[in-house]
Amino acid sequence: MKVVTGVVGNDIHVVANRLIDISLAERGFEVFNLGVNTYLEEFLDAVIETDADVLLISSLNGEAEGWCRDLQILKSQYNFRDNVIFMIGGNLVVGETTAEEIVPRFKSYGFDLVFHQVDLNEGLDQLELFLKASK
């Protein structure tokens, strides 16, 4: 299964990006890592070019919302196949906001799976469960 991943916007957390890359590969995914400082359009373009099954965006600096809130609009401009999974995880916002507030908000932006301050392996376990369920 193919996964496009990378760190969105002006975020340069390269170590986290590398850990995600390694963890995905360990689980048998074919990984296309766009690295840090990646724009939303580049992620979507990479999904199209690779015919990926999953887009996994990460963000640690708390500015993901500003970079990702147009996902729904952008998705409508592309010709994705039906079952592509859009996932985001990391430290998605700054301040005291809880996951209960953040998850629905990001889902309304067009993400299927949203993980705020959740352990990487737990997030990837959830992804695998989601993939299994959507078969």
Binding site for other proteins (CB under 8 A): 32, 34, 37, 39, 41-42, 44-46, 48-51, 77-79
The nearer residue to other proteins, 33 or 59, going by C-beta atoms, is: 33
Pick the catalytic residue: 13, 45, 53, 112? 13
Single-letter residue type at 27: R
Angle (CA) 50 56 61, round 5°:
135
State yes or no: is 119 an active-site residue: no
Q: Record the tokens describing residue 128, joined without a space.
A: 């695998």
Beta bridge partners of 88: 57, 114
Which is closer to other proteins, CB of 46 or CB of 88?
46
CB of 45 to other proteins, least distance (A): 4
Residue 2, φ and ψ in degrees, nearest 5: -100, 135
In the complex with other proteins, the residue whose CB is nearer, 81 or 104, is 81
Contact 6, 58 (CB under 8 A): yes
Partners of 113 in beta bridges:
87
Q: What is the rounded CA–CA span in Å between residue 25 and residue 117? A: 22
Q: Has 13 been annotated as catalytic?
A: yes
Catalytic site positions: 11, 13
